Structure 1
Amino acid sequence: MYRNLLFSIAACLSASVCAFSPQGEVQPEIATGRTEIKSATADKFMAVTANPHASAAAEQILARGGSAVDAAIAAQLVLSLVEPQSSGIGGGAFMLSYRADQKKLYSYDGRETAPLAVDENYFMRDGKPRGFLDAVIGGYSVGVPGVMRMLELAHQRDGKLPWKDLFQPAIALAEEGFAISPRLYQLAAQLPRVAARPAISAYLFGEDGKPLPVGHILKNPDYAQTLRQLAGEGARPFYEGDIAAAIVAAVTGDPENPGVMTREDLASYTAKVREPVCGDFLQYRWCGAPPPSSGGTTVGAMLGMLQHFPLQKYEVGSAELTHLFVEASELAFADRNTYSADPDFVSVPTTAMVAPDYLAQRAELINPRRAQPAVAGNPLGFAEQRRTAKSPELPNTSHLSIVDQYGNGVSMTTSIETGFGSRLLVKGFLLNNQLTDFSFTPVNADKQLVANRIQPGKRPRSSMSPTIVFNKDGSLRLLVGSPGGSRIIDYTARTTLYHLAKGMPIADAIHAGNIGAIGHQVEVEPDTLSEAEYGKLEAMGHRVVRKELNSGIHAIAVMDGALHGGADTRREGSAVGR
């Protein structure tokens, strides 16, 4: 069945995609077509992940009585194997974990950190920022990975099954092998400089220099050995043992672009439990990951502004609703770009950015009939005014949503940043390039310090937006998130809006056309609006670009006593449950 699914996906792939958009923006994980709507319904538990192997692993753990966190761990370990271009144990993640027995939501921060030896000019050369591909390939871009410490912390607090049991599905798959999917093949073939380093070239490419074909059975005994060690000893070897030594050797010994990570950087890494950021939308209560993720505040700000408009009047696919969405997004991003950063280094007005009174003021700036320039506000008198600078955050990530039989839920977004990360393969897994999520320039054109500048030990700002929505009685209503770089925020907010405000079934809301507001233009998937509605949108003052938008939205809606799952038709994920 899975092999047939892979070849059906292959039929949808576009051969005309390229690594760079006309505007010159890097597109490191390209769109690979769409399939039919993918949905599932269950009574006891459900898992929605970016790959059928990962969904099956999560389902196996849930069927054995595991918690949502247990299932998320098993899924992540498999994703690191079958979807190495998107996430893995060499990267970072944010997890929201709802404990039904405590009626409490926890936010786990497994974001990477900058090595202690960096300085604010790390990405500058002769007074100018380095080019992205020049910086990303090799050890220079690698941040201290946080996934394994985060998963271990979450398991200690929210797990049920033994830690070692969660590794068995991934170990078995690594040893027995799995069929290379059309998406993995397409990305290996078309993303720039995938085979830039010998280890990844030997793993994913044949002797002829071409990517191994779709259906090739790929085995990874090195990854299996790594997992066996972590299963038996916990995360310690990754941060203090021989795995740590191998990571540092690969980063600092890279022959073309060495980094500065040390054994001390790894040994001192700490995953954190932070207070989720929450707010109201219509009759619901949404919660998201707090800084250094900008996802919670920005998704929340968009929803908080939009609820001040008569949403029931506007249809999905109308210029009017699209315009309101875009304007709310641009205002929310103006604040996000100015204020969001690592709160351990920079004061972030997290609560003020989503305060009801402030969002009401921001909503008043939206003209329902005309596009307006968006500037950052002053969240409830926040004294420290700042300026922004761009960081090349890119859309290579994965999201999973899980609800277990105990009523617990996990919404987790995980990433190695760009496609195939730094291209450094160590002990069977890829290392991230998350340091390029920092602003390359420490000051802006006005010589003011940028909040998201790189500093020793700092976590780069992220757009990962794991989101959980509750009913007013505190029960689970929706778990949602997506990959997509900075576009994650729009993908997550749009799906939430369409499902909760417009009543679309969750799988249909996921499948509906994506909208992206990235400042200089509005990106809309081609079949989102009719020609007449496109004309109206442009008449409102928007510069509209029609293009495929590579989301990976995975969600579970809890309603009518059942779990309704949806997997994004733009990727190869699946929703499974019982």
Structure 2
Amino acid sequence: MALLVSACSHGDLPAPAAPEIASGYRSGLHAVRAERQMAAAANPLATAAGLEMLRQGGSAIDAAIAMQAVLTLVEPQSSGIGGGAFILYWDGTRAQAFDGRETAPQGASARQFLQPNGAPMRFADAQIGGLSVGVPGALRALELAHQQHGRLAWKTLFGPAIKLARDGFPVSPRLHALIGADRFITQSPQLARYFLTPDGQPLPVGTPLRNPELAASLEAIATEGADALYQGALAHAISAQVNAHSNPGSLSLADLSGYRAKARDPVCAPYKRWQVCGMPPPSSGGVAVLQTLGILEALGKRDGQWDIAKLQPSGLAPRADAVHLIAEAERLAYADRAQYLADPSFVQVNVKGLLSPAYLASRAEQVGERSMGRAQAGVPPGLNLALAPDRSPLRTSTSQVVAVDRFGGALSMTTSIEAAFGAHVMVGGFLLNNQLTDFSFVPDEQGKPVANRLEPGKRPRSSMAPTLVFERESGQLVAALGSPGGSQIIQYVNKALIGLLDWKLDPQAAIDMPNFGSRNLATEVEAGRVSPALLRQLQERGHKVTEIDMTSGTQMIVRDGDGWLGSADPRREGSAAGD
């Protein structure tokens, strides 16, 4: 029996803050060329570890495991083995998705982020402590992918991170800035001892930072496999820290030992002469990116003047017409995201209907010369549950790695611990996630459940959008890309894809171009990087425009003839390197 769809609006919510602060923009970056293999990550030390594995004959997944281990050490605020990951993998013949999203403990409650009066908690009150910690999934997903596609021994992959943790690495300008911007570090004795000087100041740039506890944890994982985190002494320490916190959670040993990563089919759809593949639910990223592209393609077919490929930027300055069309398409995609997308083990997600070309063409009919302001969710063909829209806070602290190997394999992995420094709980030298705050704080409205409500064993919805692009005719891999940035990830990946595919920019220029888009709130543009003329032209079209930090961290590897071009985002400290 078909059920009616709620058409509740989101209300007039303010634009959410960026999940990680800006820490400088590096001008003058260029795409790096490689002939056979390449790795790109959010920190040069992680990139070097990935390339080292590729040089030893490793696969793209081998490189990703080494990079994730190093990122746990050098970019602890963003990702790590205490969090989750989504992996999109191409083995040369087929694409797979590996879901390492965290799960809610069995002791979790749908109403645990509500105050006694029924109002949602402040985000910080929910984030800090054990209450927000989900069962980590990144390591299990990496293990599952390695079992199928690894070429090097598991133990080998942790060598670079173990050495760096033992010997130390210099605190980077970005890590220094993020430590200084975090007001909760001083409230955690563990984090204060590790990240602050004896007089309570952020560790200066260049300070050698050693982490013998993490070295010991990684040595155990290298020797015993992922079981070292999910069973035994480390699992006991994780559960104890979560439950003993002043803001306690309910993560149990059974939750840890029972966690399973999942292999899923990617969501793929044609876009012009390409096939674009992304992460399926519980991530919303793949569906939302494909919806945006499908709406834009429908707009171009409806009116040739609205073909996004014809709206080329001037240098790196986007045209107002292009920003208008992309922002309007994103409003429609974000409205559907809030209404329908969640863990498919708990909610029937109508992916086929949401990506139906006829449905996307009907959504495109809502785009006009002036901004629609606030889009409502549509009614895709097929069964749609009666649901209320999700109003949960839109933040995530995340990292991105991409790799291609000499064997024809490629990977895009987005990995996260949610907000900056996660739950601010450190165990075994690494930080635990606060991913439970990615669920809706409000489980139901007006008698209708929210699809992304918190339930025991459920995976929270994400915006992470690791993406692979192929030529439709030949099936050849064109690009692997993705970005951190919370709910703005969808915007960042859309901009990079359109820059690469429609505007024929090289990967560095596609990343460097100012960020812009809409999360179905205001139209957002990257502060300090767009002209007053663009702002005025958007306002004349009815856009409410906000200038905000849009700290993407896109990594991209693109086929270039018989070789590859790799690029990293100048807004963070990543790099690409290859042979």
Once the two structures are superposed, what CA deviation does each residue of 1:404-451 show, in whole Å capped at 9, x if it has no partner? 11110000000000000011110110000000000001012x231100
Compared with structure 1, are the counterparts of its residues 266 and 177 closer, same or farther at alpha carbon in structure 2 (3 Å cutoff)? Answer: same
Q: Does 1:50 align with 2:42?
A: yes
Aligned to 1:262: 252
Separation in 2, partners of 1:60, 1:281: 35
Give structure 2 stretches of 5+ with no counterpart: 1-12, 301-306
Alpha-carbon shift at residue 63 of structure 1 (Å)? 0.5
The one-letter code of the counterpart of 1:543 is: K
Q: Does 1:290 align with 2:287?
A: no
Aligned to 1:465: 465
Once the two structures are superposed, what CA deviation does each residue of 1:343-381 show, in whole Å capped at 9, x if it has no partner? 000000112211222111111211144435311111113
Aligned to 1:97: 89
In the alignment, which of 101, 106, 130 is matched to residue 116 of structure 1? 106
Separation in 2, partners of 1:552, 1:451: 29
Aligned to 1:407: 408
The answer (yes or no) to whether the contact 1:353–1:379 under 8 Å persists in 2 is yes
Separation in 1, partners of 2:272, 2:529: 25
The answer (yes or no) to whether the contact 2:373–2:543 under 8 Å persists in 1 is no
Once the two structures are superposed, what CA deviation does each residue of 1:72-129 show, in whole Å capped at 9, x if it has no partner? 00000000000000000000000001011xx111100000000001121111112111
In the alignment, which of 228, 246, 265 is matched to residue 275 of structure 1? 265
In the alignment, which of 161, 184, 199 is matched to residue 208 of structure 1? 199
Separation in 2, partners of 1:410, 1:24: 32
Alpha-carbon shift at residue 307 of structure 1 (Å)? 1.4
Alpha-carbon shift at residue 383 of structure 1 (Å)? 3.3
The one-letter code of the counterpart of 1:174 is: A
Alpha-carbon shift at residue 382 of structure 1 (Å)? 2.9
Separation in 2, partners of 1:266, 1:59: 32
The one-letter code of the counterpart of 1:49 is: A
Once the two structures are superposed, what CA deviation does each residue of 1:225-256 show, in whole Å capped at 9, x if it has no partner? 111111111011211111100000100011x2
Q: How does 1:150-549 map to 2 (within 5 A)?
A: 150-254=141-245, 256-308=246-298, 309=300, 310-316=307-313, 317-371=318-372, 373-444=374-445, 446-472=446-472, 473-526=474-527, 528-549=529-550
Aligned to 2:5: none
Separation in 2, partners of 1:150, 1:542: 41
The answer (yes or no) to whether the contact 1:340–1:348 under 8 Å persists in 2 is yes
Alpha-carbon shift at residue 531 of structure 1 (Å)? 2.7
Secondary structure (helix, strand or coil) at the match of 1:121 reads coil
Separation in 1, partners of 2:309, 2:524: 24
Secondary structure (helix, strand or coil) at the match of 1:225 reads helix
Secondary structure (helix, strand or coil) at the match of 2:31 reads strand
Secondary structure (helix, strand or coil) at the match of 1:379 reads coil
The one-letter code of the counterpart of 2:128 is: I
Separation in 1, partners of 2:186, 2:427: 14
The answer (yes or no) to whether the contact 1:277–1:351 under 8 Å persists in 2 is no
Alpha-carbon shift at residue 33 of structure 1 (Å)? 1.8
The answer (yes or no) to whether the contact 2:326–2:517 under 8 Å persists in 1 is no
Once the two structures are superposed, what CA deviation does each residue of 1:134-191 show, in whole Å capped at 9, x if it has no partner? 1111111100000111111110011000000001000010011000001001000012
The answer (yes or no) to whether the contact 1:338–1:388 under 8 Å persists in 2 is yes
With 382-391 and 177-186 compared, the bigger mean Cα shift is at 382-391
The one-letter code of the counterpart of 1:182 is: P
Alpha-carbon shift at residue 573 of structure 1 (Å)? 0.3
Percent of paired sites with the same residue: 46
Q: How does 1:34-73 map to 2 (within 5 A)?
A: 34-36=25-27, 37-73=29-65
The answer (yes or no) to whether the contact 2:517–2:525 under 8 Å persists in 1 is yes
Alpha-carbon shift at residue 547 of structure 1 (Å)? 2.6
Separation in 2, partners of 1:553, 1:28: 15
Aligned to 1:4: none
Alpha-carbon shift at residue 204 of structure 1 (Å)? 0.9
Aligned to 1:5: none
The answer (yes or no) to whether the contact 1:399–1:413 under 8 Å persists in 2 is yes
The answer (yes or no) to whether the contact 2:86–2:97 under 8 Å persists in 1 is yes
Separation in 2, partners of 1:43, 1:433: 40
Compared with structure 1, are the counterparts of its residues 311 and 528 closer, same or farther at alpha carbon in structure 2 (3 Å cutoff)? Answer: farther
Separation in 1, partners of 2:531, 2:174: 29
Secondary structure (helix, strand or coil) at the match of 2:381 reads helix
Alpha-carbon shift at residue 23 of structure 1 (Å)? 4.6
With 368-377 and 301-310 compared, the bigger mean Cα shift is at 368-377
The answer (yes or no) to whether the contact 2:16–2:394 under 8 Å persists in 1 is no
Give structure 1 stretches of 5+ with no counterpart: 1-21
Separation in 2, partners of 1:405, 1:368: 48
The one-letter code of the counterpart of 1:513 is: P
Secondary structure (helix, strand or coil) at the match of 1:172 reads helix
The answer (yes or no) to whether the contact 1:29–1:187 under 8 Å persists in 2 is yes
Q: Does 1:79 align with 2:71?
A: yes
Separation in 1, partners of 2:463, 2:183: 23
Aligned to 1:19: none
Separation in 2, partners of 1:212, 1:529: 34
The one-letter code of the counterpart of 2:294 is: G
Deviation beyond 3 Å, 4+ runs, structure 1: 22-28, 368-373, 526-530
The one-letter code of the counterpart of 1:462 is: S
Aligned to 2:6: none
Separation in 2, partners of 1:27, 1:530: 21
The one-letter code of the counterpart of 1:313 is: K
The one-letter code of the counterpart of 1:295 is: G
Separation in 2, partners of 1:219, 1:373: 49
Aligned to 1:9: none
Secondary structure (helix, strand or coil) at the match of 1:195 reads helix
TM-score (norm 2): 0.94
Secondary structure (helix, strand or coil) at the match of 2:198 reads coil
Alpha-carbon shift at residue 24 of structure 1 (Å)? 7.5
